[in-house]
Structures are given as C-alpha cells and as structure tokens.
Structure 1
C-alpha cells in the first residue's frame, strides 16, 4: 500500500479542520472523572506487571544468598555466576526496539500478555537448574522473553496521556520496581522456609513459586489489559472520541490510529534525541542493575566484615534490602508528581543523578556500614516519551534508548566481584562514572531542545502549506496541502511542535 493511501486512511475520520470524528458531540463528558477511570483501568495493572518483571529478573540475587551456586549437582564459580548475569542483557536489550514495533502492530493485550506468560515459564525453569550451562540457558531465555516489557509499557502509557501527565503516570508504575525490590527480599525469606519441601531446596522454591504467580497474572492479562483509546472496551464512543481529541490537542495525533510506515523507524534512527536519550538511559540503567542484582550481597558483605563483625545471616541481609527499596518507591512517586507540577523534566533528572552521585561518592570514601544507599533513580522515560511524536517513531526511540541503557547492565553485572568485597570500591567507582554520563546527557538534551524550540519560534522550521502565505516557510522543511497532513507526516519535526524541557 502506498504512503499516499495510508495518509488517506489516517485522515478519513477527520474533517478539514482536523477534528477527529466531527459527528460526535463530547460536551457531556466529564474530563476529571474520565481520566480517573482511565487511571484505574491502565496504571495499577501495568504497575503489577512491572512489579513482577523487576522481581523476576532480580530475585537471583536473593536466591544466591541461599546457596543457589553451591547447592546443585555442579557448583557454579563466582566468575560463572557473573557471566550468567551478563548474558541476560544482550537479548534483552537487542530485542527491545523490534518488540515495540510489534507491540504497535499487534494488540498490547496480546503481545504483552504473551511476553509475561513466556518469562513466567522460564522463571519456573530457574528452579530446576543443576549446572552452569543450565543457568546460562535460562538467563538467556529470560532476556528474550522480558525484552520489550518496560519500553512497551512506557510507550503504551504515552498513547493514553498528554505529555504533561507522563511523569506522574510513569512514576506510579515505575515505583513498583523499587517496591518489588523490597518485597522480593521479604518474599525470599518467607519462601525459603519451604526448604526441603518436595525434596527441593528453598532457593528453588523462590523461582518456582514466583514464576507460577507470573504465569497466572499473564493469563489474566489477556482480558485485563485494554488496548488503545480508539478501541478500549471500558469507554463509551463519546469517551473514546474525547480522549483522542484530547491527545490531538497535545499534538499526539497518533492516538487516533497511526499506520505503520518504514519512514517512522528511520526518523527515530536519524534523530539526535534518540542517541542522547541512549546516554541518559545508560546513566540510569547501569546503576539500576548494579543496585538490584547485588544489593543483597553488598549488604551481607558490608555488614559481615564491619568492625562490629555482627555476622548477619542471608535472611537478615535479605531483610535489610527492604528499607532502601521502600525509600526509592516513595522518592520515585514524589519526584514524578513534582515534575508534572512544575512542568520540567531536566531539573528532576539533574537532581536525582546528583543525589545518586553523592551517595556513591560517600560509599567509595566511607568504611562505615551504617551509611545508607542512595543509588535510587527515577527513569528518564517520561521526558523521552513526551518529546517524540508519532506512535511508531516514539516506540522505536523508546526501544533504542531503553535497549542501549539495558545492555549496559551487561557491564555493571560484572563490576561487583567477590575479590573486591566487602567495600567494592571498583564497582562503586564504575557506577559513579555511569551517573556522570547521565548528568552530561540530560544537560545536552536540555540545551538541544531549548535551541530547537527557539528555531521553531523564529520560523526556521516552517513548512510550505498550500494556500497559506508564510514568509518563513521553505520547501526544505516540506510542502503539504494542509497543516493537518504536515502534523501527521512530520510528527515532532512539525514546526508547531514544542519540546518539553
């Protein structure tokens, strides 16, 4: 099908003024009540999914403390364990952009639920490994099946909400990641009491039971997950039209059903924002994975080798992971809401990176086990998702940025070596370097977007619109029959689009 035909399809339900479904009167729709209902249908279930996603990828750290690497037929060395952690990230990161494109072409209820079901099965298989080869195999499969969940959820949320609302919405869903870290430690302690049941070690039951819960949630997700506003079953026809018009007002026209075109993928690849965003996610995801994978081990070694030599057990070390994660949950939600209230992403990201840097500087310099762990960050997803228009371009940009950030988990999964315990100076130093990259990239993004907005204010990006007299318009920016067509074709490159700072 030609690009011209696709444009005709995407415009078929709009009149000349660009109003979606002009025959539908939405004056009776109460916006506040409608958005609260959308919140209840969309955000809580996504938070549960990401809760399970983060818990299932990180519970290996809890299981290790209970003998996962030693209580098997063929014990796993420290080096082999680190390699097993590393191989997870390659398929996880590389498959994310493709997964997001598939998500847009299929129904979220089908694609996301299928991913959840598959990784739940893989998680159960973790409970039956007997060797290093088996551990590597299940970690690779977990990376394949979990790929696309996080960027998919971020993109999905961006298809329902205005840019000014993205920060708080993603913060609520992302807070489930930090909450899962706290809950994972507590749950591991409880499940380990099943040690010996069915002839299986307690660490095996951690994987088996948590994997079975994920499988059950996946089956429910086929019915619970709604798709997009234009076909959501819990909305009336008027409400669907209202939501899409609402997003149109926010220059998110793709909510009304953007058609797939290869040019949208290339728009993302050629966009400088995509590459800077990859640096932002690199600065975020590197520390995030180091923190989540090794926090139980770090706490265990940190306190065990302290001057007081208390000798905490694995159970106590797992329980001590709860307060840092609980604090991270509160911080994530608070910063997300504040970011939407003040209307900026830059200062929030800058503050969190700076706070994390201060925490790791203290960890490097101090030898006191009483210091808190401050390496908790808020994902820059809301900022990135809010500054890319067009469903396919936005999905690829998120996939590339988050994918690159996640592949750096392959680096930070190797920096906390047993030979460096209990203080792990090298590991903390590398994490600090990642935070520095994040600080630099968020600043570059801020400066670049500010300059681009200024160029558009001066008319340097104005397109030629047939029948419109504009002395600033130039054919190098494109020529279109009307403004609506220009907006649909160019997405966030359209001269009337302004980036959130």
Structure 2
C-alpha cells in the first residue's frame, strides 16, 4: 500500500506557475475551490475528518502494531531462552553469548537507511511482508542451531531482516498523518515493544513445557514456534482503495496545510539525501536515538537475567517481567497521547529521561530486592515512552529527506545496542553495577540531546517569526526578505526546494 502522496498525477507534483499567489499555510477550509489546492475540481465537503481518521486507524494500527510486536518478540526472546539452558546446549560461553547479541545490531543499524529509500520503489505491500517472512524463517532456524557459529550467523541474518521494519513503518505513518496526530499513533504502534516483553515471559514459560518433543529442548521450541507465528503474519494490505477519491484528496490537502508540502508527490533527487546529511537536526537526533536505543536494548535483552539474579528461578523471573512491561505499555500510550495534545515533546522527554536517571541510580546503589525491582518498573516506564521518531519526522519536510534523516538517526542509535549488549557480564552479578552505570550514561546523553533539540528548535522558530529567514520571492513585497536566504520564483518553489528550511515552516518543539 502506498501513501496518498504516491497516488498522484505527474503534472500535479511539479511546481505551480510563476504567477502563483502567496499560499496561506494556516488555511483551514480545505473544501474551498482554489487553484492552489491539490485536485481543486474534487468536492471534499462531504468528508467527515473524524470518521476518516478512525477509518485509517482501524486499517493501519492493528496490523502494524502486530508486526512490530512480532519483531520485538523475536529479537528479545533469546533472553528468555537463555534462562532455559540455551548456552549450555550450544556450548556457548558468556563472552560468546554477548558477542552473538552484539552481531545483531550491526546489520540492523546499517540497513535502515537503504531500506527506507527503497521502500517507495518496492512498495510497502511487498517490501514489508518480505522482511517479516525472512526474519520469521531465520527465527525458526534458531531452534535448530547446534553451536556458536550457527548462532552468530543467525543473529546477523535476523538483524539484517528486521532492520527495515521500524523506520519503514514510522516513515510510512508520517506520510498519512499530520504532525499533531503522529505521536499518538507511533506510541500505540511502539507499545507493541512493551507488549512483546510481557508476552515473551508468558510464552517462554508455556512453550518450555514442550521440552523433549521432537527431540528438541524447550528453549529451541521458543524460537521455532515464535518464528512460525511471524511467518504466518507476513502480510501487508495491498492497495489504498479503502479510501474514496474525495477522502484521498482531503488527506493530501490536510497534510499540505500541516506543512507537509511533499504530500502532493516528490521526485527523487540525491540532493534530498545530502540535505539530511548537512542538517544539524540529523546529528542532534542521532544523539537522542543513541540515548534511547542504548537503554531500551539493554532492558529488552537482559531484564529476565537481571531479575533472576535478584534471587528468583527461571520461570519466576520470566513471569516477573510481565507486569513491568504492562506498566511500561500504559505509560507509553499515555505519553504519546499527551505529546500530541500539549505539543511539548521536548519537555516530556526531559522529564522521562530524568525519571530514568533516578531509576538507574537506584539500581546502582540498591542492595534490596524489592527496591531494585521497583527501580526496574521505573526504568522501563521512563525509557520506552521517550519520544524520538514522531518528534524527528515532524521536524523534517520532504519525502526523501525525511526518510534519510529518520533512517540515519535510528541507524546510529541502534548501533549503540552493540555496546549495551555487552555490559551485563556474569562476573558483575547479582547487582550489575557496571551495566547500570553505562546505561545511566546513555540516559544522560538522551537528556542532553533532548535539551539541545528543544532549545535550538525554539530559537529557530523565533528567528522565523521575526522574519530573519524570509526569502526573496519574485512579485511579493517583503521588507524582511534577504537574498542570503535565497531567491525564488514563487512560494511553492521555495517550499519544495527548501523543505523545512523554508521561512514559513515551523518546528514542533
């Protein structure tokens, strides 16, 4: 299925005439016939916006959430299988186990940008099912591994196959929803990560009872059955025919009014990729993703182990992860909703990272099982809800620039999972002070990046309000216009060529 911006006539995706008048980006009556509107000949006055959004939500969110649930379940279930003697069966040392976890993150990070760029050419309805089917097969093969070499190869292939899903879905949603709507949808979709954590504990306990069936140990059946489930859900809706022509036109106009100027279609140019590389926001976003990914990766991979070392057996440790993830899921959805309603995503992030700092400080200092378990609740409820993708994609305009910037930020962030996959060593048990200290450093990086992003975006908006970024537009008298900001034939040309650097664009803080 392609977003509405891909279903356009070629002539409509080009700049309008030089005589185009200034467009009011705050125009709210999208049904007014105007030559500045996409598809002005179509009457959209009968479209009910609320019903249209519900229609889209029902169509997209359940299935996308399920796919991400399977992704997070499959990458993290190795932590559950470890509790049931997987290492001993494969003759894998603690160091080799950590290396196997690390190998996953390199292809997972490096393949995100290419996957996002080819998503439009291969179509989401083909590309995403291919990825899901591929990692489902790889996951099943984990159950037939015999040694350390097999595990290394399989973790590499799993990272390669899973790489394109998360950035692809977030980017895909950003092509359908306005910036003020995206946070809630991403939060619902990302809540699958915490839901997967809760399911993972339950499933591991239940599936382990198959120990010995077919000559396979219980830990192997965890991989086989969960991989098979992934293969069975490898499907993506094929077309956008569930929308009427009026509804599709309404969406494109609505996105344009929300400063998604590329919603009418955008031709690929390599310069859009270079724009993302030269944009300071990309690098601050990398720091933000670094802080978040470093923390979430460690939680998903090591929570069962950390809880077991507090003095519980394997089954109890798996079950005790369930309420932690359930609580984190509720907080994630609540934060996504608040982010869209109050708009202050930066302040929410600062508060969440601050809570995470307190959580890991408690984990470092605590000698009490009850206090440490409480701190794990606090840590999960602070790290998982932190806002990154909705915030980043909301502040980058242009189809391909947004795909590149989002992919780069997530790729760099996920590379740090390779670091936190090695910090919880067996010789540091039961309190794992070194691992908690390193994750605490990642949280500090995330907090600082959120602060920088918030302050600089706010300053840039204020500069644009003062007219300091105004371009020279032929035919428009503007006393603030300055040639250093560029000269363009029309407002549309300035919008298209400058993207979020256009003086009329306002960042979401």
Q: Which of the five TM-score ranges fits, normalised by the shorter chain?
A: over 0.9
The answer to whether residue 52 in structure 2 is matched with residue 52 in structure 1 is: no
Q: Does 1:438 align with 2:464?
A: no
Q: Which residue is equivalent to 2:150?
A: 134
- Which position in structure 1 is the counterpart of 2:87? 69
- 1:342 aligns with 342
- 1:262 equivalent to 2:265? Answer no
Kept in 2, the 8 Å contact 1:171–1:336? The answer is yes
* Inter-partner Cα distance in structure 1 for 2:228 and 2:39: 44
Q: Which residue of 1 aligns with 2:505?
A: 497
Kindly indicate whether the alpha-carbon contact (under 8 Å) linking 2:12 and 2:264 is maintained by their aligned counterparts in 1.
no
How far 1:258 moved relative to its partner? 1.6
Aligned residue pairs total 478
Residue 32 of structure 2 corresponds to none
The answer to whether 1:104 aligns with 2:120 is: yes
Residue 319 of structure 2 corresponds to residue 319 of structure 1: yes
Report the alpha carbon displacement of residue 64 of structure 1 after superposing the two structures with TM. Answer: 0.6
- 8 Å CA contact 1:194, 1:202 repeated in 2: yes
How far did residue 278 of structure 1 move? 0.4
Distance 1:42 1:280 in 2: 27
Q: Deviations over 1:251-310 (max 9, x none)?
A: 1022222211111101101000000000001110101000000000110012x2xxxxxx
Q: Contact between 2:12 and 2:38, CA under 8 Å: does it hold in 1?
A: no
Q: State the 1:474 CA deviation.
A: 2.4
List structure 1 segments (4+ residues) > 4 angstroms apart after TM superposition: 6-9, 12-17
Structure 2 unaligned regions, length at least 5: 1-8, 21-34
Q: Which of 365, 375, 379 is matched with 1:375 structurally?
A: 379
Change (3 A) 1:365 1:167: same
Distance, in Å, in 2 between the alignment partners of 1:419 and 1:130 is 26
Q: Distance in 2 between matches of 1:105 and 1:346?
A: 34
SS of the equivalent of 1:54 reads helix
In 2, the alpha carbon distance for the partners of 1:485 and 1:51 equals 41
2: CA distance, partners of 1:475 / 1:392: 26
Task: Note the 1:85-484 alignment, pairs <5 A.
Answer: 85-218=101-234, 220-221=235-236, 224=237, 232-302=240-310, 304=311, 312-371=312-371, 372=374, 373=376, 374-376=378-380, 377=383, 378=385, 379-484=387-492
**What is the alpha-carbon root mean square deviation over aligned residues?**
1.6
Partners in 2 of 1:406 and 1:215 — Cα distance?
Answer: 24
C-alpha deviation, 1:462, in angstroms: 1.3
1:10 aligns with 2:13: yes
Shift of 1:225: 5.7
Deviation at 1:382, TM superposition (A): 1.1
The CA deviation string for residues 83-130 of structure 1, in whole angstroms up to 9 with x for no partner, is 000011011101111111111333111111111111111111111111
Identify the range of structure 1 (94-103 vs 473-482) with the bigger mean alpha-carbon deviation.
Answer: 473-482
Once the two structures are superposed, what CA deviation does each residue of 1:363-400 show, in whole Å capped at 9, x if it has no partner?
A: 11111111211222224211111111111111111101
Q: Give the corresponding residue for 2:26.
A: none
Structure 1 equivalent of residue 96 of structure 2: 80
C-alpha separation between the residues in 2 aligned to 1:225 and 1:295? 38
**TM, length-normalised to structure 2:** 0.92
Q: Is the 8 A contact 2:184 2:340 kept in 1?
A: yes
Shift of 1:207: 0.6
In the alignment, structure 1 segments of 5+ residues that lack a partner are: 1-5, 227-231, 305-311
For 1:113 and 1:495, locate their aligned partners in 2 and report how far apart those are by CA, in whole Å. Answer: 40
Judging changes above 3 Å, is the alpha-carbon distance between structure 1 residues 126 and 203 closer, same or farther for their aligned structure 2 residues?
Answer: same
Shift in Å, 1:471:
2.2
C-alpha deviation, 1:12, in angstroms? 7.3
2:116·2:164 contact (CA, 8 Å) conserved in 1? Answer: yes
Output the CA distance in 1 between the equivalents of 2:147 and 2:227: 20
Instruction: Name whichever of 42-51 and 10-19 sits farther off.
Output: 10-19
Q: CA–CA distance in 2 between the matches of 1:8 and 1:483?
A: 18
Aligned-pair distance for 1:13?
9.0
